[in-house]
Amino acid sequence: MARAASASALVCLLVLLGTAQPAQAAFPEGPRIAVLADAPGIVPGRGIITMGPGGQSPRTAIKGVGWSWPSWSADGSLLTFGSYGDWSGEAVAVAEILNGPGREIYGRTSLEGGNPVMAPDGRTIAYADEGRIWLLDVTAGSVRPATPWRLETTEFEPSSFSPDGSKLAGTAGWLGSSAVAVDLRTGHVSLLAREASEPVYSPDGSEVAFIRWKNWRTSWVDDGSPPIDELRVTRVGTYPRSRLLRRSHKLLVRPSWDPSGERIAFIRTRVVENGYTDPKKGDALMAINADGTCLKKVYCDRETTLYSAAWQLGPWREAGAISC
């Protein structure tokens, strides 16, 4: 989340996270993917590990985190995620990942409505709560509403800022009925894709990757059949056209572009029944080229549950296209 990894590094790795290098060591250079995971080697509970684009050199970066997905600043120096403390519920936390495992926790924030998303400048974090988008000023610790109105839907999960920081993409509606973008300057909401969730802007802002949970989102009926998920990409402003990268009878979660814009990482779970969304042990971190070629299994561990992945951004972090 070009440098091609060897075939052996791309197989399902049976490496326990407890053997990962300590976070105090110098942070590795080159392409890295941050993964929210639950594994015996991370205490307490969930943690964030980072690894190379082929699953190599896994190491624990942050221990004891919440359920919310990690998000990077554009220069790759700051990572936001959810954390718990002496308050009720999960709150926004920020770590200067290049300088060790310490974190700043903002107890005034609430992540009951979704995941924190860091703006490209690293100074602002957006999150949704009670039908409104909130902006956290990381330096001052202050929180303000991004718009003076409540979203038309009571469910909105932000997932990505546009590269210029002016728009916030997210999932609107129960079960992710639509992928939308909110203009933070005007409050205007534009449709990116229907029957879609977890939209993520490409590094240049021209495209958006998203997940389409095809059968259940069409019928909203849990009939016990396997899920049919699709990873798709659409050019901004070309709704409803999109191109299919991957269709799967397993649950697909959280696409993430590598900084080059040439490959996309995502989680593929072992969920086998339509309607169940909880990840399972043995899920896999996958990667595919943005043109739909060269699907690769990057990392999996039979005792580990993977929740989401996020490519580290910043200069010299590009992985480039997968060779196959």
Q: What is the DSSP string of 37-71?
A: EE-TTSSSSEEEEEE-TTS-S-EEEEES--SSPPE
- Residue 320 maps to a domain: no
- Using the Cα atoms of residue 146, residue 110, residue 211 and residue 164 in order, give the sign of their dihedral: positive
Range of the domain at 280: 23-311
- Residue 37 maps to a domain: yes
How many domains, in total, are found in the chain?
1
Distances, alpha carbon 6 to alpha carbons 21, 27, 54, 294, in Å: 21, 22, 8, 13
Section 48-67 average pLDDT: 89
d(CA 254, CA 158): 12
Question: Each residue of 144-155: pLDDT tens digit?
Answer: 988 766 555 557
Question: Each residue of 228-270: pLDDT tens digit?
Answer: 789 999 999 877 789 999 998 888 889 999 999 999 999 998 7
User: Residue 259: is the preceding peptide bond cis (ω within 30°)?
Assistant: no
Question: Each residue of 59-69: pLDDT tens digit?
Answer: 888 888 888 89
Distances, alpha carbon 66 to alpha carbons 125, 161, 230, 284, 294, in Å: 16, 21, 27, 20, 33
Question: Each residue of 157-210: pLDDT tens digit?
Answer: 889 999 999 999 998 875 547 899 999 988 888 999 988 889 999 999 999 999
- Residue 321 maps to a domain: no
- Residue 241 maps to a domain: yes
- Using the Cα atoms of residue 266, residue 315, residue 69 and residue 136 in order, give the sign of their dihedral: negative
- Residue 316 maps to a domain: no
Position of tokens 């996270």?
17
- Residue 6 maps to a domain: no
- Residue 16 maps to a domain: no
pTM for the predicted model, two decimal places: 0.85
**CATH number of the domain where residue 33 is located:** 2.120.10.30
